[in-house]
A and B are shown apart, each in its own frame.
Chain A
Amino acid sequence: MYINMNDFGASLFDELRRLEREMNTYGWPSPIRSAPRGEYPPINIGTHANRVDVYLFLPGVDASQLDINIQQNMLSIKGERRLIAEEGASYFRRERFDGAFRRVVNLPEDVDPEQVEALYKDGVLHIAIQRKEASKPRQIQVK
């Protein structure tokens, strides 16, 4: 019997990806508007005592056309990436994302929507949101 190793490897990999998607890896309970894993663009989120950093892996877009909104602790990023198909060329592979996308990120409750910075570099959109002073851990002195 002939088995294509490539297909086998790929299907095994997809299965792992599916399992990974089903396990929710958010650090806090899954918000009602959160998208399942494996959506476009991929997102990494990191927290820090005084800020939250969100990274969207979003290559080849015009950053000025992105619609980035923050409402209380909901951060939403909307945009589109349109690929122009080459006329008269024959395609062997078309894997790159083409179309509109939207991702909503549920941030910790203590973020300050007034203090947000976004930077687009090397195809990654980096959004840094400051956390409110009150929520930073305070050292308590014993008198």
Chain B
Amino acid sequence: MSNQETNPGQDSKARADQERTLRPAVDIFEDATGITVMADMPGVPKEKLDIQVDKDSLSIGGEILLEMPAEMEPVHADVRLTRYQRSFTLSRELDTDQVEANFKDGVLILRIPKAEAHQTRKIQVRAA
């Protein structure tokens, strides 16, 4: 199962673009019927979530919107960027037309099922 994170490598523009975004922490696991990606993107409202899936890649991102009073002076910032972005390449056995997404309290849960033919089936032995 190839589940590689895409790496812009030597392309300096892509690298610069990558440096300006936050990398959401993710948990990724696989079971018999598909792959689940869970990503932490606190501060992103539903309408600013950005998920793109095609045949062989998945890209998740979003923009942080915080309600701040006007003329606020920042005194401490662990989070200094406002966009999350992370991409993965997908392997062919995944059925990207059937992706399900759920987003609540800054946690994205993406379910990418395997195409029927690739699902691991448990073989039941029938009693004679």
Which A residues contact B (CB, under 8 angstroms)? 5-6, 9, 25-28, 37-38, 41-49, 51, 53, 55, 57-61, 83, 86, 88-97, 120-124, 126
Given A47-B73, A53-B72, A122-B105: A92 and B43 within 8 A (CB)?
A: no
Most buried by B among A9, A27, A95: A95
- CB-CB nearest in chain A for B42: A123
A-B contact sample (20 more), CB < 8 A, given A41-B42, A44-B78, A48-B71: A25-B76, A25-B77, A37-B78, A43-B76, A46-B72, A46-B73, A47-B72, A47-B75, A48-B72, A89-B36, A92-B28, A93-B26, A96-B38, A120-B105, A122-B43, A122-B44, A122-B105, A123-B40, A124-B43, A124-B66
Interface hits, B106-123 → A, CB 8 Å: 106-107
> How many A-B contacts if CB must be within 8 Å?
126
Q: What is the minimal beta-carbon distance from A54 to any residue of chain B, in angstroms?
A: 9
Which residues of A have CB within 8 Å of B105? Answer: 59-61, 120, 122-123
Which B residues contact A (CB, under 8 angstroms)? 3, 5, 7, 9-10, 25-31, 36, 38, 40-45, 65-69, 71-79, 104-107
B66→A126 contact, CB < 8 A: yes
- CB-CB nearest in chain B for A58: B42
Between-chain CB contacts (< 8 Å), 24 pairs? A25-B77, A37-B78, A44-B77, A46-B69, A47-B75, A48-B72, A48-B73, A53-B69, A57-B78, A59-B107, A60-B107, A61-B105, A86-B29, A86-B36, A89-B36, A91-B27, A91-B29, A95-B26, A96-B25, A96-B38, A121-B67, A122-B43, A123-B106, A126-B66
A27→B43 contact, CB < 8 A: no
Which residues of A have CB within 8 Å of B66? Answer: 44, 55, 124, 126
A26→B75 contact, CB < 8 A: yes
A93–B45 alpha-carbon span in the complex (Å): 25
Given A25-B76, A96-B38, A124-B106: A89 and B69 within 8 A (CB)?
A: no
